[in-house]
């Protein structure tokens, strides 16, 4: 019973936090429910990057490419093929997974910074293609994307959409945590620690890399689809390089070796971004909106210097150390 409570406790705390968000975000200055929706969507995409870069050790700067594939797939399937929005999300995720499998079969022939450059080139290529094709709306993008609906219930308004995104985020965190704690997840950890040692232990490196790459792509695709049906518009900026960098920063700030790093990183980075947009212009009229990029860089440097395992990783590490050093209460032998 104690083991079950220990396993379920993190989920219970996380659900409690998710339920508290509307009450907090509607009362705290410069926060809105739209910010909460955006945090949830980006946390889903970041979670895939945590699995890929944090556990498997495969650095990707092209996560926004799969985010964009999901957004465009849902947009095209619903506006031009007449598919229901929920079907567009599912089919988009399947198509994105197939694309990731094919791409992974080629790019994982390289490693290290060559792999990062390969994923970067893939994202840039897709962005240029989306800007040229007629089916993607060219530079104008696709408008009037239908809103998501669950049966007869159309998800309208930021509050309702937040609850939907929060539910999806909870599901993907449960899936990711189960994956990490499985035998496959232990092999991923070994792969991330040392490819040579993992290969000598019998881990199929190519297979594990492709599988986690597909999982990360599917998570990003679902996030992209949720974004497209929320704003009802998508264009080539959805595949922007800056988004890939932002997702990587979120994963690093939150913690690359824990699934809780994704929501924590998304919350911290977007909170910092929102605060920079609201507060920095008050300090000087010469500070523009792009100055928040410098704030991101400073935050990342501070985290790498003082919390190399990320905020969530650092907190979890502290809790584990306190648990190990806590004095044991003697029990009565009689």
For residue 326, name the pLDDT band (cuts at 50, 70, 90).
Answer: low
| Three-state DSSP class for residue 157 | coil
Mean pLDDT of the chain: 88
* Burial (Cβ within 10 Å: 0-12, 13-18, ≥19) of residue 315: middle
Give me the helix-helix angle, 183-193 and 205-231, nearest 10°: 100
pLDDT at 333 over 50: no
pLDDT, mean of residues 64-75: 95
- In this prediction, residue 280 has a pLDDT band, given cuts at 50, 70 and 90, of low
Place of tokens 């599917």: 218
Position 304 scores a pLDDT of 80
What pLDDT was estimated at residue 108?
86
Q: Supply the pLDDT for residue 211.
A: 94
How many whole angstroms separate alpha carbon 293 and alpha carbon 286? 15
What is the pLDDT averaged over residues 182-211? 91
3-state secondary structure of 154: strand
The better pLDDT of the pair 4, 145 is held by: 145
The model's pTM is 0.92
Cα separation, 315 vs 309, in Å, equals 9
Higher pLDDT: 94 or 3? It is 94
* Angle of CA points 8, 266, 156, to nearest 5°: 85
By C-alpha distance, which of 159, 136, 142 is closest to 228?
A: 142
Domain chopping of the chain, boundaries: 2-241
Across 178-199, average pLDDT? 92
Reported in sequence order, the residue ranges of 13-76 that DSSP labels E, i.e. its strands, are none
């Amino acid at each position: 019973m104690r083991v079950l409570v220990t396993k379920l406790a993190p989920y219970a705390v996380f659900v409690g936090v998710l339920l508290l968000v509307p009450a907090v975000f509607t009362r705290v200055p410069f926060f809105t429910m739209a910010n909460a929706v955006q945090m949830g969507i980006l946390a889903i995409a970041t979670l895939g990057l945590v699995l890929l870069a944090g556990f498997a050790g495969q650095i990707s700067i092209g996560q926004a490419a799969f985010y964009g594939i999901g957004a465009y797939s849902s947009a095209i399937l619903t506006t031009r093929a007449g598919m229901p929005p929920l079907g567009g999300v599912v089919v988009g995720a399947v198509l994105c997974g197939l694309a990731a499998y094919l791409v992974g079969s080629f790019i994982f022939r390289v490693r290290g910074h060559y792999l990062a450059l390969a994923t970067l080139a893939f994202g840039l290529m897709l962005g240029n293609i989306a800007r040229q094709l007629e089916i993607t709306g060219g530079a104008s993008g696709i408008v009037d994307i239908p809103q998501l609906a669950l049966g007869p219930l159309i998800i309208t308004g930021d509050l309702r959409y937040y609850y939907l995104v929060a539910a999806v985020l909870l599901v993907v965190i449960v899936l990711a945590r189960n994956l990490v704690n499985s035998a496959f997840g232990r092999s991923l950890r070994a792969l991330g620690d040392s490819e040579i040692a993992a290969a000598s232990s019998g881990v199929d490196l190519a297979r594990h890399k492709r599988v986690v790459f597909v999982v990360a792509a599917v998570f990003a695709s679902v996030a992209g689809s949720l974004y497209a049906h929320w704003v009802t518009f998508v264009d080539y900026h959805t595949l922007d390089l800056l988004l890939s960098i932002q997702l990587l920063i979120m994963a690093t700030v939150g913690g690359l070796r824990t699934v809780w790093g994704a929501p924590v990183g998304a919350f911290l980075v977007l909170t910092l971004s929102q605060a920079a947009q609201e507060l920095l212009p008050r300090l000087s009229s010469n500070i523009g909106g792009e100055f928040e990029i410098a704030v991101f860089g400073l935050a990342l440097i501070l985290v790498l210097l003082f919390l190399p395992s990320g905020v969530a990783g650092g907190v979890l590490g502290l809790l584990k150390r306190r648990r190990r050093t806590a004095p044991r209460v003697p029990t009565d032998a009689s």
